[in-house]
């Protein structure tokens, strides 16, 4: 049986940036939101793919934590390829992609797997760095592959997700300081959150009509 783990890519400058002081400020502003994601679908497992190791303050109940280990590799609770998650289909309530795309993760394969493992109506939370933020000067030329919310909405729709019309701005805009309040729209904030729902066709079960009696001539 072939291994689920591809050859590891050791050069990951984008992941290193998130472990720096400037990157940790952004992540710290997002930790409370990650905790909320874990309670969105009570009783169902949830998955987080992030650039760093699992934070100690995060509630671990029903959580599978994976760390970006290259464009096509994931580590953490289990080692696997980006396009082959060892999770059953329609078994996960919420998926969080925390800056996984910023770190060069093969997002096309990841979204295919996300659509497979999410339950109908399950939610995907995507955190991305805002390329229009002045804070961008801290990750400039650090291997970050940032993208605007508009780009991610197009990607999500392509894979059967219904994204929210408006993203939410997170973190600082200029100086590396922790800001708890969020705002409507990414604006000048360093990062943003964009949520999407796995589309499902709503069927309504109805009782079949009894066939009408047929008249016959005597």
Render pLDDT for 142-173 as a digit per residue (tens, 0 to 9): 999 999 999 999 999 999 999 999 999 999 99
Structure confidence at residue 210 (pLDDT) = 54
HSE of 213 in the Cβ direction (CA atoms, 13 Å)?
2
Residue 136: DSSP 8-state: G
Can you tell me the mean pLDDT for 100-114? 94
d(C-alpha 135, C-alpha 151), whole Å: 20
For 26-70, write each residue's pLDDT tens digit: 999 999 899 899 888 888 999 999 999 988 877 677 899 999 987
Q: Global pTM?
A: 0.85
Sorted by where each begins, the domain ranges of the chain are: 14-198
pLDDT of residue 117 exceeding 50 = yes
Q: What is the architecture of the domain spanning 14-198?
A: 3-Layer(aba) Sandwich (3.40)
Query: Taking the C-alpha atoms of 160, 162, 166 and 172 in order, what is their torsion angle to the nearest 10 degrees?
Result: -60
pLDDT of residue 8 exceeding 80 = no
For 77-90, write each residue's pLDDT tens digit: 999 999 999 999 99
Given CA atoms 161, 88, 75, 84 in this order, what sign does their dihedral have? negative
Given CA atoms 104, 106, 108, 114 in this order, what sign does their dihedral have? negative
The rounded mean pLDDT for the chain is 87
Can you tell me the mean pLDDT for 115-134? 97
């Amino acid at each position: 049986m072939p291994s689920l783990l591809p050859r590891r890519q050791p050069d990951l400058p984008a992941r290193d940036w998130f472990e720096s002081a400037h990157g940790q400020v952004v992540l710290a502003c997002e930790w409370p939101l990650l905790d909320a994601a874990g309670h969105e679908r009570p009783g169902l497992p949830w998955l987080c793919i992030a650039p760093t190791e699992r934070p100690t303050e995060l509630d671990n109940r029903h959580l599978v934590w994976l760390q970006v280990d290259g464009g096509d590799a994931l580590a953490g609770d289990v080692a696997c390829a980006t396009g082959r998650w060892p999770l059953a289909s329609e078994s996960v309530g919420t998926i969080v992609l925390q800056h996984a795309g910023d770190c060069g993760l093969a997002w096309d394969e990841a979204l295919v797997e996300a659509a497979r493992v999410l339950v109908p109506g399950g939610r995907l939370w995507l955190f991305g760095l805002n390329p229009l933020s002045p804070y961008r000067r801290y990750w400039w030329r650090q291997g970050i592959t940032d993208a605007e919310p508009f780009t991610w909405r197009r990607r999500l729709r392509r894979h059967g997700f219904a994204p929210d019309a408006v993203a939410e701005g997170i973190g600082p805009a200029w100086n590396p300081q922790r800001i708890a309040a969020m705002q409507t729209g990414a604006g000048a904030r360093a990062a943003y959150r964009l949520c999407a729902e796995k589309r499902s066709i709503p069927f309504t079960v109805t009782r079949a009509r009894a066939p009408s009696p047929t008249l016959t001539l005597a």
